[in-house]
């Protein structure tokens, strides 16, 4: 029956590559294989009765998942309120006169948007529409311009408050509990979304620093590839006041959301509510919250949230049937028999997740793959916070890697036809190398992901 588990996973991947909806693919394929297993006498259809209890306990009564619609609302609200446009204009005026200044501005604004919205597709498209025409007009190398925009857009995967980290944290919390119970540990330790948020801060800042250093290095070695913008002294007169208006509101919002989590005053869900209210106030202050915009914001939030939870329901059914075929025992036995122990098993999982990132979105990987491999790796002694940060970095790299990276598809949709796809691919390669370097650094120095959560939450306690 273990082979049926493998065939079911392969069938899901094939159906998704064929373009079928994710949620219905997960549920439909799982039900099909459940009936096949029942026909072969290796699956008990009565096990499907556990699904309602799983959905009520794991979804309906899960306070952590309340952060998803709230963070989505916050991100969509900021996207509609022209925060990105104001930020980019302000940063460009601050750094634009220096060689590579516009590229630095794009990187810093992308990081701030990642910390404000946590939505990769929205950041890539927004930055592509706002920054790319200006960069090309100012004489930037198209490869450098498109590469920096695509790379900074994926920072929403790793810089909190990331929706990917919210979902990953909830799944890893369940996996960590399962791993401890299987080991006979009934007084279980817990891992939270807040742990992942704090653990991802230093790796995320390392990535931002590497991106900035690369742009500066390109500008110094080849000034023609990243020229400075001409001074406009008349334009500079209002720079200070514009900086205050453009930078201060989103920075205050980020501090309110992340600061409340870091100081222990609120959970990620409560901080998400603060962020949603703050984004609405920001939109009101900038007079962007019209009735039409509010309708579009609510509709977009509802669509994204419905998609996430529909996938979660389908993934719960997939997980139930997979375990009914004893697929989790097969994975455990396979990893346990590998030479090199936890290191080899983790390396294999990272390679598989990287490859799956070409065909699956982070939501499918989080809900389908992580619940299968997570309990096994955690039972082998892998730190849950470190594992979550590594998976987030891995998915970010996968989303940027040609030819299937999702960020590249988002960017291709807004890039003018005069910039060929090969130029975009060439532009992201240095950033992929930097992301792999960051993964290597975090792998060699796990404390980069685990030290800050220990300090923050021990001091809070």
pLDDT tens column, 165-191: 888 888 898 888 888 877 777 676 778
Question: Is the pLDDT assigned to residue 459 strictly greater than 60?
Answer: no
**Across 244-262, average pLDDT:** 78
Enumerate helices (H) and strands (E) in the chain, giving the number of each: 23, 0
For residue 116, pLDDT over 90 is answered with: no
Instruction: Find the mean pLDDT for residues 25-33.
Output: 90
The dihedral through the CA atoms of 95, 99, 105, 111 has a sign that is negative
- 118 pLDDT tier (thresholds 50, 70, 90): low
Scanning the structure block, which residue is given the tokens 């450098």? 144
pLDDT value for 272: 85
Residues 421, 426, 431: CA angle, nearest 5 degrees: 120
Highest-confidence segment of 21-25, 343-347, 365-369, 402-406? 343-347
Structure confidence at residue 238 (pLDDT): 61
User: What pLDDT, on a 0 to 100 scale, did the predictor assign at position 119?
Assistant: 62
**How many whole angstroms separate alpha carbon 434 and alpha carbon 213?**
11
Report the greatest alpha carbon distance in the chain: 80
Residue 263 DSSP label: T
Residue corresponding to tokens 């994204």: 304
| Closest residue by Cα to residue 387 from 165, 180, 146 | 165
Q: Residue 447: which residues within 8 A CB-CB, separation 6 or more?
A: none
Question: Does 430 have pLDDT greater than 90?
Answer: yes
Does the structure show a pLDDT above 80 at 292?
yes
Looking at the predicted structure, is the pLDDT value of residue 62 above 80? no
Of the chain, the percentage scoring pLDDT greater than 70 comes to 92
Cβ–Cβ under 8 Å, residues 105 and 219: no
Closest CA to 195 of 370, 459, 452: 452
User: What is the pLDDT, as a whole number, of residue 447?
Assistant: 92
Tell me the pLDDT tens digit for each residue of 191-229. Answer: 888 888 889 999 999 999 999 999 999 888 888 888 876
In whole angstroms, give the CA distance from residue 105 to residue 111.
10
Kindly report the number of other CB atoms within 10 A of residue 364's CB atom: 23
The DSSP annotation for 318-367 comes to: HHHHHHHTTHHHHHHHHHHTSTTHHHHHHHHHHHHHHHHTTTS-HHHIII
Using the predicted structure, report yes or no on whether residue 106 has a pLDDT greater than 80: yes
Where along the chain do its domains lie? 2-460
What pTM was estimated for this model as a whole?
0.82
| pLDDT at res. 442 | 94
Is 287 a residue whose pLDDT tops 60? yes
Kindly tell me if the per-residue pLDDT of 440 is higher than 90. yes
User: What's the distance, CA 212 to chain centroid?
Assistant: 20
C-alpha radius of gyration, the chain, whole number: 23
Q: How far apart are CA 61 and CA 66, in angstroms?
A: 9
Residue 237 in this model has a pLDDT that exceeds 60? no
Q: Mean pLDDT, the chain, as a whole number?
A: 82
């Amino acid at each position: 029956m273990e082979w049926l588990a493998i065939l079911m996973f392969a069938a899901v991947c094939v159906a998704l590559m064929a373009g079928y909806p994710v949620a219905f693919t997960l549920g439909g394929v799982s039900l099909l294989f459940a009936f096949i297993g029942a026909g072969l006498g290796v699956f008990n259809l009565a096990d499907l009765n556990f699904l309602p209890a799983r959905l009520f306990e794991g979804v309906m009564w899960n306070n952590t998942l309340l952060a998803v619609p709230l963070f989505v609302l916050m991100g969509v609200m900021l996207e509609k309120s022209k925060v990105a446009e104001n930020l980019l204009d302000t940063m460009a005026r601050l750094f634009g006169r220096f060689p590579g200044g516009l590229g630095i501005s794009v990187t810093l604004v992308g990081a701030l948007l990642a910390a404000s919205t946590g939505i990769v597709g929205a950041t890539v498209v927004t930055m592509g529409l706002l920054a790319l025409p200006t960069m090309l007009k100012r004489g930037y190398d198209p490869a450098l311009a498109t590469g920096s925009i695509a790379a900074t857009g994926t920072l929403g995967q790793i810089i909190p408050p990331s929706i990917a980290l919210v979902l990953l944290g909830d799944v890893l919390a369940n996996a960590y509990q399962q791993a401890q119970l299987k080991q006979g540990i009934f007084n279980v330790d817990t891992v939270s979304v807040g742990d992942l948020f704090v653990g991802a801060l230093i790796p995320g800042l390392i990535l931002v620093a590497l991106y900035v250093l690369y742009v500066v290095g390109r500008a110094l070695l080849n000034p023609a590839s990243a020229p400075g913008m001409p001074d406009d002294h008349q334009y500079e007169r209002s720079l200070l006041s514009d900086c205050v208006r453009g930078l201060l509101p989103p920075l205050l919002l980020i501090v309110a959301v992340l600061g409340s989590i870091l100081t222990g005053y609120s959970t990620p869900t409560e901080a998400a509510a603060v962020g949603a209210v703050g984004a609405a106030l920001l939109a009101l202050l900038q007079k962007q919250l019209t009735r039409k915009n509010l309708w579009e914001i609510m509709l977009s939030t509802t669509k994204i949230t419905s998609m996430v939870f529909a996938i979660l329901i389908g993934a719960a059914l997939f997980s139930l049937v997979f375990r009914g075929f004893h697929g989790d025992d097969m994975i455990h036995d396979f990893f346990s028999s590998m030479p090199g122990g936890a290191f080899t098993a983790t390396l294999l999982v990272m390679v598989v997740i990287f490859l799956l990132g070409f065909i699956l979105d982070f939501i499918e990987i989080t809900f389908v793959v992580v619940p299968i491999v997570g309990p096994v790796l955690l039972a082998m002694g892998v730190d849950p916070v470190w594992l979550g940060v590594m998976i987030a970095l891995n998915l970010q790299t996968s989303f940027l890697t040609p030819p299937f990276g999702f960020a590249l598809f988002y960017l291709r949709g807004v890039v003018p036809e005069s910039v060929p796809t090969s130029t975009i691919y060439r532009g992201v390669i240095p950033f992929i190398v930097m992301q792999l370097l960051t993964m290597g650094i975090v792998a060699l120095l796990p404390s980069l992901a685990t030290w800050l959560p220990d300090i923050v939450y021990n001091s809070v306690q």
